[in-house]
């Protein structure tokens, strides 16, 4: 019997953020983890996320995302990225209703020394990123053909913005989010 592949976890520091990356067994590594961490860090800076803080990134497959999609979104089948923010959007500066000091940060709630506020988690299907890119259905708009590595960078950026309260349910929100994503990706 072959031993089961181990989950790989690493903490990467980008500016004032710690990105806790978990790679599930069998998931392709399309780009160095440091590149993904920098993409997340850039999104956190652009969104005005409170710092210092941590954020989780889980690189998974379609099966895991399908399960999470069913449980948390009530939808069948896999999706490319899901975000699980732990702070309300009003806690992130720059979002509607945000206060100058996020609730639970600073005076209202003092973390123990050496601890960071955890912003939330992003779970990405690397399998879906590859398929969407190769089929020309990437870019979150479903009409961009580019390398799977570019699609993965977009998905982690997209997920980080969601953790910070960005959304795309309304046309104006979507236009703003897409514009920021493209700026962050240097496109």
Which CA distances in Å does 148 have to 49, 108, 138, 179, 187?
27, 43, 9, 20, 15
Per-residue pLDDT tens over the stretch 87-140: 877 766 655 444 444 444 443 566 777 788 999 999 999 999 999 999 888 877
Q: Is the pLDDT of residue 31 over 90?
A: yes
Is the pLDDT at 172 greater than 50? The verdict is yes
Supply the pLDDT for residue 144.
Answer: 78
pLDDT digits (tens, 9 = 90+) for 34-69: 999 999 999 999 999 988 999 999 999 999 999 999
- As assigned by CATH, the class of the 8-184 domain is alpha beta
pTM of the predicted protein model: 0.86
Structure tokens at 3: 């031993």
């Amino acid at each position: 019997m072959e031993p089961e592949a181990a989950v790989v976890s690493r903490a990467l520091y980008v500016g004032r953020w710690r990105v806790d990356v978990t790679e599930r067994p069998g998931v392709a590594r399309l780009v160095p983890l440091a590149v993904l961490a920098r993409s997340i860090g850039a999104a956190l800076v652009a969104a005005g996320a409170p710092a210092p803080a941590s954020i989780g990134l889980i690189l998974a497959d379609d099966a895991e995302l399908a399960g999470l999609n069913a449980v948390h979104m009530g939808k069948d089948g896999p999706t490319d990225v899901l975000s699980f923010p732990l702070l309300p959007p009003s806690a992130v500066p720059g979002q509607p209703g945000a206060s100058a000091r996020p609730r639970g940060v600073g005076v209202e709630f003092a973390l123990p020394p050496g601890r960071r506020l955890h912003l939330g988690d992003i779970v990405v299907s690397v399998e879906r990123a590859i398929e969407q890119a190769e089929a020309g259905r990437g870019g979150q708009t479903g009409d961009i053909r580019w390398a799977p590595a570019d699609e993965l960078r977009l998905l982690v950026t997209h997920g980080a913005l969601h953790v910070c309260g960005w959304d795309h349910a309304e046309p104006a929100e979507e236009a703003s989010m897409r514009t920021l994503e493209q700026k962050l990706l240097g496109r």
